[in-house]
């Protein structure tokens, strides 16, 4: 006959300090970081780290900085100019198709 052990009492619920959350979010933001491995070492699920990152406003890390200039820049060499209602995008001849596609998708109205 097998034995069954019933554990009663309060549910295990850890409280993480803001500093601990920031450290874990910073660890997964490092280049080459593996979120699942970091979560496993901290004994929590990866979605918890993603939630903390969203709450800290760091979900957009990894995007390039964009600078908006009021005066149009002169284009050196051949380029395609795409004018939207509020933006003008100049695409140099050597730009990769994937980059062009991503930029135009993000700018279109």
- Residue 106: the pLDDT is 78
pTM of the model: 0.44
Cβ–Cβ under 8 Å, residues 104 and 89: yes
The pLDDT tens digits of the residues spanning 68-86 come to: 666 565 656 778 788 877 7
28 burial level (CB within 10 Å; 0-12, 13-18, 19+): buried
Cβ–Cβ under 8 Å, residues 104 and 82: yes
How many alpha carbons lie under 13 Å from residue 59 in its C-beta half-sphere?
Answer: 7
| Residue 103: partners with Cβ closer than 8 Å, 6 or more residues away | 89, 91
């Amino acid at each position: 006959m097998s034995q069954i052990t019933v554990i009663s009492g309060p549910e295990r619920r850890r409280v993480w300090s803001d500093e601990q959350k920031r450290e874990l979010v910073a660890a997964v933001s490092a280049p080459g970081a593996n979120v699942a491995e970091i979560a496993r070492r901290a004994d929590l699920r990866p979605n918890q780290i993603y939630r903390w990152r969203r709450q800290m406003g760091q979900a957009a890390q990894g995007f390039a900085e964009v600078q908006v200039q009021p005066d149009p820049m002169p284009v050196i060499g051949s380029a395609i100019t795409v004018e939207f209602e509020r933006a003008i995008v100049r695409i140099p001849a050597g730009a990769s198709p994937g980059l062009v596609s991503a930029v135009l998708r993000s700018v279109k109205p």
